Every structure is written in C-alpha cells, then in structure tokens.
Amino acid sequence: MTLTEQGIQNSTVIELEDSDASDVSGGENLMDDLREVLEKNSNFKGSFAYSSLLPEAPNPFLNIEGIGLIGLPLSEREAAVIIRHSSQAPYGHGDRTLVNPEVRDTWEISSSCVKFDNPTWEGFVQKVATTILCPELGVAQVASPPRVEFYKLLLYQTGSHFLPHQDTPKTDGMFATMIILLPSKYTGGQVHLSHGSEQKVFDFATDSYVNAAVLGWYTDVVHEVKPITSGYRLALSYNIIHTSTQVSRPVVTELNQSAEKLRNILRKWKHSVYDEFPGENYVVYVLDHKYSKEVGFSNLATIDAMTNRRPSLGNDGRPSGDQQQYLERTNNEIESAFDLCLAKAIPQWHEVTPSYYDKQSVSGRILQLLEVCLSKRKMASCEALLDLVKKHPGELCTKFETIYVPLVPPLLSLLKKTQTDFYYPPFSDFMRELIGNYLQHMVGTITHSSRRDHSVGCGCDVCKQLDAFIASPVIEQNFTLAKAKWQHLVSQVEGARDLLTATTPSYRAFRAPHQVMVRKTDKFLAVQKWEYRLREANAFLNSVGIETVQRLMGDR
C-alpha cells in the first residue's frame, strides 16, 4: 500500500498550510523526524480525562462531624444542614488562595471532618482509581499503584459554579484529580474540559438521583463547572498521587503539539528541505494482520478492511454522516417507543393474564414490570409503579395478604440480580412504608388488630349486621331474612371467603323466612390471637432480613 509524495501534497487528511514557506526551517533526516514524533504520540494510550457511572457503588455511610449520618440520595433537608456546617470553597490564584463566589461558588468540608462508616468504601474507591480511572488516563501499571487521598467534600447548590481553571497539585507527586458524585438530585452542572485542541463534556444530571459516578482528569487540564440549575450535587474530591520509583510521574501527551510537529515535518518534506531523503518515494501503513501476497484488498480483516474503504464510507471506522444520523434517529425512536409502552403498561399493573392462560399473580405482574424498568435503569418509572401499588384501593390488610407479602422475597431477589441498591429510593421508601404499615395494621397491639376491622358489603342494613358480627367475639351467627335480603347477604359472604363461610340448613332452603348460618374462618379467628400475629410478623420480617429491617427503619 503506497501513498506518493504528490498524494501527500493533495491529501485532505492533514492540511499543509504553507502560505509562508519561509517559516519552514531546514532539516537532516526525514525518517528520523517522523519516527520520533509518531513513536512519542503512539506510546500514550490514555486520555486527558475520563468519566463513567458507578452503579455498583456501595453506600459509603457518610458521617459528618457535628451532623452525623447522611442519607443517600441527598435530601433537601440534609443538604441545608450540610451547608450550615460548611465554608465557602476557595480557589488558587498564583501564590494566593482567594474566596470569590463570582469565580467559585461551592461549599466544602475538609476531610478531617468527614468519615465513611462503611468499611468497604475505601477499598472500593482505591479499586475505582487504580483499575478504572488510571488505565483510562494512560497511567502505566506498576508494582506500586498510585495513592488515593481523600481531600474534601463538596456541595453544589442552585447557582453553584466554578469558572475555567486548572487544579493546583495539593501534595508532591499529585498528577490527577478524581471526583466521585454521590446520589443527589440536580440539573445542570456540566463539567467542560479541554486540553490543547481536545474537548470533553461530562454530564450525569439525568442519572444523578440513583447512581454514583466518577470523573477524573490530569491536573493541568483546564475545566469548568457550569452552574447548577436546580437541586444539590454532593461530591467527594480525591487526589491521585504518584508513588512508584520505577517510572516517572504520569503526564498527558500534548497531542496538539505532536500534530503541529508532524505538520512541520510534512511541510519540510513537501519543500524538499531535508538533507537526507528516502530513495523510495512512498509511505508504508502497517496492517494489524498478516496476509499472503495473493490476498487482495477485498479480503482484509477488521480494522485493516476499514482502512482501504472509500473516504465516503468513513476511514475512521465510523458510519458516514447520513448513516450516523439514521442510526441516531432509529435509536431515539426505539427509546421513545419503549418509554411509551412502559408508560401505558404501568397503570395496568394489576391486570394479569386471562384465566385461560397460565394464571399470573398480581405480584408476578409487578415484578415483570419492575424488571423491564430496571433493565433500562428507569428509576422514575419504578417509583411511579410502586406509588400506584401503594395507592391501589382496597382493605390494607387484604392487600398485604394478596399483594405485598408475596411480593417482597422475589423483589429482593430481583434487586440483587439487577445489582440495584435496595437502600436507595424508590425501593427503600417503599419498604419503609410497607414495614411500618405491617407492624401497625397487621400486627397491632395485644388487645387490638386492624385485621378485625373489616367492612363487608355496601353499607345497607343487612351489611351493617354482617360488619357488627365480624367485629364481635362471636364465632358464628344465624341470620333470618326475607328472600331478597337473604340472597344479598349470601352474595356478600361469598365475596369475603377469607373471612366468612355461609351455610343454609337444607330444611330451610326453600321456606320463608330464609335462614343462613355465617361462621368466621379458622384463618380469621387465628389472626385475632396475638401469638399468631407475632409468628406471622417474624416470618414477614425474616423474608426481608432482620439486618435490612434495622438499616431501613433505624431506631423506630
């Protein structure tokens, strides 16, 4: 594969701006110059900045001196408390440290006032820095990994920002900054970064409420934090410090300088100013794979094949502009269709498969919808679904028996399977309310339980008699009624089979007045007993997990 000198002069890949040829100085050996600039550039395998979500991040159990444990995601109330215990963050200006909200409007708390009660947190942070961030920054893997030093807690509120700046190394050997965003709801706050001619923008506002995220960059990277437009953003700032004596402190390659040097070499080649010039007039491109001489261009593999395609198809291995726009539109349409279907399905959470198919339980339908939501990390949809489940009309105790209690064990399994943190909303809020209502209404006290306070029927005189019987300590009662009222009472008892049974004496079946014997079921009688309710409560709480209950409910 050859590219002639004339081809290089006509190339649109690298523009040779030679309007002033007098700026091109003389040179010695073309091949040496090319080798030097290309090897220097190719040895750097990283980027000047990196970011990603951390869905597997544990809860650090953030503990601030003078406040105590901070819940996550961050609530407005606790954000206000943190601000009262914070100071305005300064910034470096030459040899001075200044405080000016017009330049930097952020709250901070020093590391000496912050603890992490989760013993796994520090190990997690070290792992993120050494196995995720540093490799992406192109840091060489050596026996002595970089040290990760917690620097400050930062809190951004509406209007908080930081104008373009570079980080000042806080200690000897510091070469990068790592920021971990903790779950907190906000909008805005995009981080704009630039290094030479390269630019990046990091924006995690959409996922901020349910996920942690990591951001990192070299200290000499210029970056700006755009204003927070609503809410609060909670962040932890870490210094990444070089400790190895085997290699020098990591630095990011000046890609723009390398490109300029390459342009200068090609200008010199174009104007034949090199003293030594290769006899063969071509440039060689080394393919990734080895081929026999008989193999033509049509049989090249992977990235090699992309190299020989016409420029209109994208020499960089990307789709053409038209293809890219089509793919982007298609992806957006699929995502929109998914959201639309989900929005239509969630209000029908209680509609299960018709009876002539394999019967699906209501709790099974809820789990099915939650799994779909979690597959796309649609936490707002999960919250909407669980809110509808909580507000579904009906007797609370009946809903516990038919929906909530059967739902809990498979829900916990689903959250574990999808690596979803159980202690974050909306699931933590849902379970707190569920456990609280269970203890209040399903267990009650020794002398009273809401499970006795059932109402049956429409509220007519006959149904009021039935309700009075349910609330009484009597086990069975005979009702003598006219035919229409008798039929009505029997139909109401049929609709409450978990509470009552109805028996009509055969010798009274077709005689007026009509009689029916109504009896409370064994299950209903059992729940009136304190010991039975305690056993049920223990079984329910064990299905959640005693440690989980303690963490969710605290000292309640």
DSSP per-residue letters across 232-255: -EEEEEEEEE---SSSPPP----H
CB atoms closer than 10 angstroms to residue 119: 9
What's the pLDDT at 220?
Answer: 86
What's the pLDDT at 355?
Answer: 43
What's the pLDDT at 152?
Answer: 96
> Domain locations in the chain?
49-241, 349-448+537-553, 450-527
Q: b/e for 56-68, b at 16 or more Cβ within 10 A? A: ebbbbbbebeebe
SS3 letters across 428-477: HHHHHHHHHHHHHHHHCCCCCCHHHCCCCCCCCHHHHHHHHHHHCCCCEE
69's tokens: 């444990």
Can you say whether residue 94 is alpha, beta or left, with left for phi > 0 and alpha for psi between -120 and 50 degrees? left
- Could you tell me which of 221, 143, 231, 252 has the C-alpha nearest to residue 187? 231
Burial class (CB in 10 A: 0-12, 13-18, 19+), 79: buried
- Could you tell me which of 258, 276, 283 has the C-alpha nearest to residue 7? 283
The DSSP result for 195-238, as a single string, is ETTEEEEE--GGGTTT-EEEEEEETT-EEEEPPEEEE-EEEEEE
**CA–CA separation, 365 and 243 (whole Å):** 54
**CA–CA separation, 383 and 427 (whole Å):** 8
**CA–CA separation, 128 and 119 (whole Å):** 16
Q: Which residues fall within 8 angstroms of residue 516, CB to CB, at 6 or more apart? A: 478, 479, 481, 486, 489, 490, 493, 502, 503, 504
What's the pLDDT at 3?
Answer: 37
174's tokens: 């510091």
CA angle 268, 270, 275 (to 5 degrees): 50
**β pairing state of 174-182 and 228-231:** unpaired
Q: Among 3.30.460, 3.30.70, 3.30.420, 2.60.120, what is the CATH number of 49-241? A: 2.60.120
Burial class (CB in 10 A: 0-12, 13-18, 19+), 262: middle
* DSSP code of residue 129: I
Share in percent of the chain as helix, strand, coil (round to 5): 40, 20, 40
pLDDT of the chain, 556 residues: tens digit per residue? 333 333 333 333 334 444 444 444 555 778 788 877 776 655 567 889 999 999 999 999 999 999 999 999 999 999 999 999 999 988 776 556 677 888 899 999 999 999 999 999 999 999 999 999 999 998 877 778 899 999 999 999 999 999 999 888 888 889 999 999 999 999 999 999 998 778 999 999 999 998 999 999 998 899 999 999 999 999 999 999 998 877 777 877 655 566 677 788 888 877 777 776 666 666 666 776 666 665 555 556 555 655 444 444 444 445 555 555 555 555 566 777 788 888 888 998 887 654 434 445 788 889 999 999 998 888 888 999 999 998 888 878 788 888 898 999 999 999 988 888 877 788 888 988 888 888 888 777 766 666 555 667 677 888 888 888 877 778 888 888 887 887 888 888 877 777 788 887 654 445 566 788 888 887 777 766 777 778 888 888 888 888 888 888 876 5
Burial class (CB in 10 A: 0-12, 13-18, 19+), 34: middle
**CA–CA separation, 327 and 341 (whole Å):** 21
Phi, psi of 179 (to 5 degrees): -115, 130
